[in-house]
Chain A
């Protein structure tokens, strides 16, 4: 008797992925607009369409708050945790679009924006992915689009960056896939929720977990897996770099947190995660020391990103519920202060020349006092000085890691912070030093209203978050 083929999912399942569906389908409109419209209109229409799509998806995602649902047989879960990360991804993508108003070539705008949105939809999928298949799908969707985006700029370093990223990222994906295979072999399931049961072979399970973690540690660019980051950040176009520094990280962190909190069996979770804390500690030191020597602001921000993600992962140490909330808070804070700094770099950039070399900042304090003051503010925030969200976030992370019994991480965090102050202060000093070489006379790009908007929003958010450490309390029950 022939079995009837029934599709085991219905409307509720489609609703759950609607936000990311919108983000994934908007590029079709974008490409269409790019084909049909005259050259002069293309860029603005394309950007507007993409922004509208993202904002609409943001609304759709927010609507699901308080309605946890496990869609597609447990492949994708939605609810508080997923939504928070999806909103971070959407915000990060929107800010990146703001920076794209005057950078790059007009005729590339359509394709680039479409790729950016597809990449973002991959990160959104990762935010809710609850089995190994969806995780891999999300990750590859995110990465494949990024390989192309990295190579967009006309300079030779761009192609080099794209190639490096492709090769190294594939290596990491290889490790991860192998890990997934071992995990499947050990547990007989691809569902994260099935991993909590005792594995048939503990050896296979731990090895699989280790390989799996490598993939995500690579994506988070934690030391020593950060090695690709500075070159790729330097070579990629500025909006893409900004995008990578937030969206990729948010997606990878979502998977990592879900794996650490919801998948691993309680008994040996802490033992399995130890390398993660060590890698976080290494990142805080290596990232900040590496930042010291940089003369290119994009490279500096790459190293700083490594350190900042180290702080975020350190918050998870001990997998306490408070730790997860603080990690999310710090990620949000990082998004604002980091993108604020990127927006300032964008404002200093010209169509074919990015204002990321330190020399572009010499004497900026006198030529563009407001811009320099804001840049100083973002850098102080990244260094963790009050009154900025960076300070609050670090304080919370310190508190939670001490609470969870990881005082040594707290000590390393303090040391790392102290080192980072020099790295960031170097730019501040350059901006306010007079007479150090002839300052470049460079006016701001005329079409730069939108990056200014980004700078303003980031500055306000960085300041306001200092006093309101929003850390959604009902995130945790929804991790699973």
Chain B
């Protein structure tokens, strides 16, 4: 094996080794687990740079690990696409690990936390580095598992456990879709390696490709919180904030973007799949942004904004503007991580208070959080020259270029709404007077359970401050890669050349940019008028109460997605389940037997005598089964 291959292997396995180490020696390590855990992510970050040159070379860096059975061989593949993801996972991930040392400082289970976090990083690296669909599937499943553990990390909170369960359930739906896609592709091409499958993509039947694309996208939609499978993401905010930043903002939830970009050769030959994925992405962007308006929980606002921004990315890669979608992933990772970490500082300082209405006037008390949040907000709303401006613009214009003007328009409108709800959050949190001592009732906050805030000694401020400060730099400048230079090579993956639509020749990119900016300006101005101006801050308590009480029902119920899923799947499943249970479980079967017995009029007094009754019931089931068997055999026997 070449040196590069060994380095790649090392950077892939280091987080796993560290996770095992921390898990095994956790009680002894306590806080030093955080240092080890962070190191096990930052060292791979450095190692990734070592490999950048060979990854950007022709064909990327390939490491063949072992052959399994025919058609299944395992290997790692570092090409520009996976290089970009690896850099973000280890770079942003490393910073979040450092931050988490401070955030989890007084948590007794800090070692377990870092073991899970490192395990997640390993799983995510497996997902992006695998050179075949089976490895991808393994990584895909493992990140889901890690996410499940981390959302439910505070298992003493029932809401956290429920959220973890929900995330798991929806992700299993996605996993099943993806697994099905892999089988379709394997059946059609006889291989699971990306290279083999994509080489044959153009020769496959269009229906097969479409089926595979749809099945893949079910996986992507579940993992990346696209409608209608997005409902788990806001709930996932029950996890510790570093988890939200790493898994539910910067990395795992963008796995769907990665996968669509990775499977570009499939999407390139299926226009229907393109239209479907692009549309879902655009709708998700819009729905997420609208729901962001109605939230009071600072992390839920960020969650909906994540959903909305991933909608942009999916729209980008869906319509074929791969570079644009990936660029938006790149910039989003920085500014969204920064927003979450800044929110974490606020939440931490307020002892787990997450409701905007109880905040206000924090700008002076927490200057770092304020500036970080401001820069992050400017970046996410696409204010030039902050990073989000370039990438969002690229996605919107990319959709236009490829002949999807309607999606482009949705993107423009969404940009305006994004500006509104993000500025709302910023202004309500940091401007005006502090409302921490105003009673809940006066602010229109419904009765809620107060969890015991865990006071404890705090980490030195720089532990949490430094990562936030560092992230500010890329939040501003990351978008500048569009001007060219060495960084641009990261986005130089082999994608099909872009076609120019008729509309794009008429509308130049700068004009679209100006239109977007006009919408953004409108959003900022509206938010300022309602929440930021002097009048608004003076009467904040009354205004917030009024708004809480008059919030439109569809927004409060998040457009009834949860209710629809509940009515469509959960309730029928429960009904079928309980009916089924009566048939399946012997302890319940006696009831069924009684029904049957009653129907047939064979009533006997001793039916209630449990044991004999059970045996009789079992024999009845056997006899019925045998009768069904025999009916079938009599039929085929007679037909011969």
What is the interface of chain A, defined by CB distance below 8 A to chain B? 160, 163-164, 167-168, 171-172, 175, 202-207, 209-211, 213-214, 218, 223-225, 227-228, 230-231, 268, 271-272, 274-275, 286, 289-290, 292-293, 385-387, 395-396, 398-399, 402-403, 410-411, 414-415, 418, 421, 433-435, 467, 469
Contacts and interface: CB of A to CB of B under 8 A. Distances in A.
25 contacts: A164-B614, A168-B622, A175-B626, A202-B640, A203-B634, A209-B633, A210-B633, A218-B622, A224-B621, A224-B624, A227-B622, A230-B585, A230-B586, A271-B636, A275-B628, A289-B580, A289-B581, A289-B584, A290-B581, A386-B138, A402-B187, A414-B180, A434-B155, A434-B156, A469-B69
A414 B183 CA distance: 11
B572 interface: no
B629 A172 contact: no
B186 A421 contact: no
Contact of A160 (B138, B577, B611, B632): B611
A112 B283 CA distance: 67
Given A168-B619, A227-B586, A289-B577, A418 B625 contact: no
B269 interface: no
B602 interface: no
Closest 6 A/B residue pairs (Cβ): A210-B633, A206-B637, A203-B637, A202-B640, A224-B625, A290-B584
Contact of A231 (B156, B614, B633): B614
Contacts of A435: 156
A386 B126 CA distance: 13
A447 to B, nearest CB: 27
A410 B626 CA distance: 25
A175 B628 CA distance: 13
Contacts of B69: 396, 469
B47 to A, nearest CB: 24
Given A202-B640, A268-B640, A167 B615 contact: yes
Nearest to A418: B172
A163 B611 CA distance: 10
Contacts of B503: none
A164 B618 contact: yes
A204 B630 CA distance: 11
B555 interface: no
Interface in B572-604: 577, 580-581, 583-586, 589
Contacts of A230: 585-586
B172 A207 contact: no
Contact of A168 (B183, B615, B633): B615
Nearest to B584: A290
Contacts of A225: 622, 625
Contacts of B145: 385
Nearest to A271: B636
Interface residues of B, number: 47
Given A214-B626, A386-B141, A418-B176, A227 B156 contact: no
Nearest to A370: B24
A381 B377 CA distance: 45
Central interface residue in A160, A167, A205, A395, by most chain B CB within 10 Å? A395
B1 interface: no
Central interface residue in B142, B145, B175, B622, by most chain A CB within 10 Å? B622
A286 B628 CA distance: 17
Contacts of A469: 68-69
A467 B68 contact: yes
B66 interface: yes
B179 interface: yes
B176 A415 contact: yes
Contacts of B172: 418, 421
A167 B615 CA distance: 8
B638 interface: yes
B186 A202 contact: no
Contact of B636 (A206, A227, A396, A398): A206
A172 B622 contact: yes
A219 B624 CA distance: 17
A163 B584 contact: no
Contacts of B622: 168, 171-172, 218, 224-225, 227
A183 B586 CA distance: 33
Interface in B164-191: 172-173, 175-176, 179-180, 183, 186-187
Contacts of B134: 395
B46 to A, nearest CB: 28
Given A272-B636, A418-B172, A421-B172, 4 more contacts: A167-B619, A203-B637, A206-B637, A410-B183
A32 B180 CA distance: 58
B637 A202 contact: yes
Nearest to A414: B176
A171 B619 contact: yes
Contacts of A214: 625-626, 629
A398 B181 CA distance: 13
A366 B163 CA distance: 24
Contact of B630 (A168, A205, A210): A210
Given A202-B640, A469-B69, A293 B633 contact: no
B615 A164 contact: yes
A403 B638 CA distance: 31
Nearest to A380: B145
B589 A227 contact: yes
Contacts of B66: 467
A172 B629 CA distance: 13
Contacts of A160: 611
A89 to B, nearest CB: 26
A368 to B, nearest CB: 14
A14 B586 CA distance: 45
A223 B629 CA distance: 12
A469 B67 CA distance: 12
B640 A228 contact: no
A207 B629 CA distance: 9
Contacts of B629: 210-211, 213-214, 275
Nearest to A166: B615
A121 to B, nearest CB: 27
Given A168-B622, A418-B176, A207 B589 contact: no
A426 to B, nearest CB: 11
A302 to B, nearest CB: 10
A275 B586 contact: no
